[in-house]
Amino acid sequence: MSDERRSVAIHVPVLARVEGEGALDLRIDDGDISELRLRIFEPPRFFEKFLEGRHYAEIPDMVARICGICPVAYQVTAAQALEQLFGVELSPWARAMRRVFYCGEWIQSHSLHIHLLAAPDFFGCNNAIELAKIAPDEVRRGLRIQALGNALMDLFGARSVHPVGVRIGGFHGAPSLSRIQDMRDRLRDALPEAEALIRWAATIPMPQDDQAFVSVALRHPGDYAIERGGIAASDGLLIEAHDFDAHFAERHEPHSTALFSSYRGQPYLVGPLARLNLNHDRLPERIQALLAESGLALPSRNLFHSLVARAVEILLALQEALRLLEHYRLPDSPWVPVTPRAGIATGCTEAPRGLLWHRYEMDSDGCVVNARIVPPTSQNQARIEEDLRLSLLNFGLDHADEALRLHCEKVIRNYDPCISCATHFLRLNVER
Amino acid sequence: MKPIRILGIGSPSGDDQAGWLTVDALLGTGVQARDRVIIDKLDRPGASLTTQMEDAAWLILIDAMQAGGDVGRIRHFGQQDWMQYGQGLSSHGFGVLDALALACALGSLPPRIDLYGIEIASADPGLPPDNRVREAAQRLARHLAAELEQAAPSH
């Protein structure tokens, strides 16, 4: 390797295999990184403004439109926040089915990311189509698992894209016993496939990249937290959703239409690896045994282990859905009545990509005065930039430009950033 | 015997219902009563389209398209038109051609595939489909019913 300290500028104008549109600018001067910016330029989407003045009954369907991949997360978080404010006690049936519904989203989103977005990077492929040529059985298995996740979303949401099943107080309808029986059979059949997926994921060679970071995820006393729990951090923090603003801050950066988040002034990680790091003791025994067999030591400081974490969470979601559907009965009513009240509603759940936080100020008619949504990708954005810096230094800046570009893309894709979800209204300053 | 699978692809947004309208019109002809004919409407299936086409002897896909032509124009695409396609940009943009290319790589393409596009004006949420798109869907349904009759006469 040459001792010459070179200068290079790398621009990735459009990041491939991520949700939405972003870009990366990297400048190396005299062998040091002088500029590194993950630019999110997808247009601001004004969703929080759209919600103002809307009646609470419209909110679940409106927020489902924020993302085509994780609509359930938005619906369930909004419902959780508003139900808490309105003093609604969900029936045990509705509470359990919310978790099942959410499991469907984890299954489809994680399988999509593993097989179509992330895995090609680790096999030297440009895309899933190339991967399918060298690992057809694994890709087929991934598509089957993804389709099952979609079917589970469709079961409770009437469709998997922007589902419409959730209402404040429960669900609009309850699936028939015969449909649930069919789903149970499919879930049972998928369990060995998901176990095989974990074993396969654990054998994929990953770069060794040891980094120190704070993991943030929901934590629940009994469950592996998905749709409920307090907000926990790997430094010992454990708070309720309404205390989010006391510990976490958002800021604008000029190069991004997504907000950047920080915890105690520092970047932090949300998502599957953060969840696994904090909550692996909540996994069922069978999955803990598979993890031990895989050799993955937790907590992990290597972000590339996110792919295995997604595989683990697919199996967890399949098991959870099956467990909760095992003694399924049709409810007397899939929802309970709701009486709105004025106040501040906050909610927090674990979207496939990580912590999702909502805050609504409601008036006494049940209409939104203002709304704030903090999605996982904006929480991860500062961490991605930090990771890119550290990871590039570990990788070595003397690599050829193409190798550096590929490494950066691999790091970014590893977070499964959902850029469409993360784009916010950007403040406009006019000087005259 | 493997089925003939006819899939109308779309969304509830305005002219993007072109594939669904065609399937509705086709159902009106009674072709679904034939053996081995499976007709479905799919709502933005993305990668799951790949699994939907498995085990079909003949796959007919109908989708909306914007190719700069007159609204209501129907185009037929053969395998040679999309075999080399392989963008794979993102799951947000994972469309019909990506699903076909992925199925091709997996060796799971049906032996016969007919892809039809109906030229649309716009796909605006909340708006009804353009009348020219409705007429095209009726026209294409009649064409498909005749093709099915020719390929496998009902009497």
pLDDT for A344-401, tens place per residue?
Answer: 999 999 999 999 999 999 999 999 999 999 999 889 989 999 999 999 888 888 888 8
Q: How far apart are CA A237 and CA A230, in angstroms?
A: 10
> Strand runs (DSSP E) across B11-144, as ranges?
37-43, 58-65, 74-77, 112-119
Task: Report the CATH superfamily, name and number, of domain B4-151.
Answer: HybD-like (3.40.50.1450)
Closest CA to B55 of B99, B101, B109: B109
Beta strands in A30-173 (DSSP E): 32-40, 166-167, 170-171
Query: How many other C-beta atoms lie within 10 A of the C-beta of residue A152?
Result: 28
Is it the case that residue A228 has pLDDT exceeding 60?
yes
Name the strand (E) or helix (H) holding A391.
Answer: helix A376-395
State the nearest Cα–Cα gap between B20 and chain A, in angstroms: 15
- Same domain? For A23 and A157 the reply is no
Q: What are phi and psi of A299, to 5 degrees?
A: -70, 145
Q: Which residue has the higher pLDDT, A404 or B33?
A: A404
> What φ, ψ does residue A337 adopt, rounded to 5°?
-65, 155
Record: contact B91-A140, CB cut-off 8 A? no
CB-CB: which of B44, B86, B91 is closest to A129? B86
Chain A residues with at least one Cβ partner in B under 8 Å: 14, 16-20, 68-69, 112-113, 116-117, 126-130, 132-133, 136, 139-140, 143-144, 146-147, 150, 159-161, 420
Contact list in A for residue B108 (CB cut-off 8 A) is 140
The reply to whether A126 and A141 lie within a common domain is yes
Backbone angles phi, psi at A149, to 5 degrees: -60, -45
Residue A432 lies in a domain: no
Does A429 map to a domain?
A: no
DSSP assignment, residue A116?
I
Same domain, A230 and A373: yes
Q: Give mean pLDDT, residues A52-69.
A: 92
Structural tokens at position A218: 């929901």
Closest-CA residue to A7 (of A24, A28, A35, A25):
A28
Q: How many CA atoms lie within 13 A of B65 on its CB side?
A: 21
Residues 6 or more apart whose Cβ sits within 8 Å of residue A4: none
pLDDT, residue A273, reads: 98
Q: Is A88 inside a domain boundary?
A: yes
Task: Give the pLDDT confidence of A66-97 residue by residue, as tens digits.
Answer: 887 889 999 999 999 999 999 999 999 999 99
* One domain, residues A16 and A96: no
pLDDT of B83 > 70? The answer is: no
Pairwise CA distance, residues A416 & A111, whole Å: 12
A137: domain range?
A: 47-422
- Could you tell me if A182 and A205 lie in one domain? yes
A271/A406 same-domain check: yes
- Residue whose entry in the numeric block shows the structure tokens 């005749």: B146
- For A297, residues 6+ apart whose C-beta sits below 8 A from its C-beta are none
User: Per-residue pLDDT tens for A185-195?
Assistant: 999 999 999 99
Give the number of C-alpha atoms closer than 13 A to the C-alpha of residue A83, restricted to the C-beta side: 25
Residue A104 placed within a domain: yes
Q: Shortest CA distance to B97 belongs to which of B49, B41, B39, B42?
A: B49
Q: Is the dihedral of CA A7, A13, A15, A20 positive or negative?
A: positive
Query: Considering CB atoms only, which of A16, A136, A147 is closest to B48?
Result: A147
Find residues 99-138 of chain B whose CB sits inside 8 Å of chain A. 101-102, 104-108
- pLDDT value at position A40? 73
Distance from CA of A118 to the nearest CA of B (A): 11
| pLDDT tens profile A92-120 | 999 999 999 999 999 999 999 999 889 99
Number of domains present in the structure of chain A: 2
Indicate yes or no: CB of B48 within 8 angstroms of CB of A161.
Answer: no
Mean pLDDT, range B45-50, rounded to an integer: 87
pLDDT band at A253 (very low <50, low <70, confident <90, very high): confident
- Residue A263: inside a domain: yes
Cβ distance B105 to A17 less than 8 Å, yes or no, reads: no
Which CATH number covers residue A329? 1.10.645.10
- Do A34 and A75 share a domain, yes or no? no
Mean pLDDT, chain B, rounded, equals 87
DSSP state letter for A44:
P
- Residue A226 inside a domain? The answer is yes
Q: How many A×B Cβ pairs under 8 Å?
A: 70
Give dist(CA A262, CA B142) in Å, integer.
Answer: 60
pLDDT at A36: 86
Give pLDDT tens digits for B23-41.
999 999 888 777 789 999 9
Task: Say yes or no: B43 contacts chain A, CB-CB below 8 A.
Answer: yes
- Name, in order, each residue with C-beta under 8 angstroms of A143's C-beta and a sequence gap of 6 or more: A111, A115, B47, B48, B50, B51
Residue A240 lies in a domain: yes
pLDDT of residue B154: 61
At residue A278, does pLDDT exceed 70? Answer: yes
Mean of per-residue pLDDT scores for chain A: 90
Tokens of residue B96, six digits: 């019909």
Across the interface, of B11, B43, B105, the residue whose CB is closest to A129 is: B105
Same domain, A26 and A137: no
Do A12 and A99 reside in the same domain of the chain? no
Interchain proximity B89–A130, CB inside 8 Å: no
For the stretch B5-27, pLDDT in tens is 999 999 889 999 999 999 999 99
At A339, the amino acid letter reads T
Q: Which of A59-63, A129-133, B94-98 shows the lowest per-residue confidence on average (mean pLDDT)? A: B94-98
In a domain, residue A145? The reply is yes
CA of B147 to nearest chain A CA: how many angstroms apart?
Answer: 31
Look at chain B and count its residues.
155
Residue A147 distance to chain B (closest CA, Å): 6
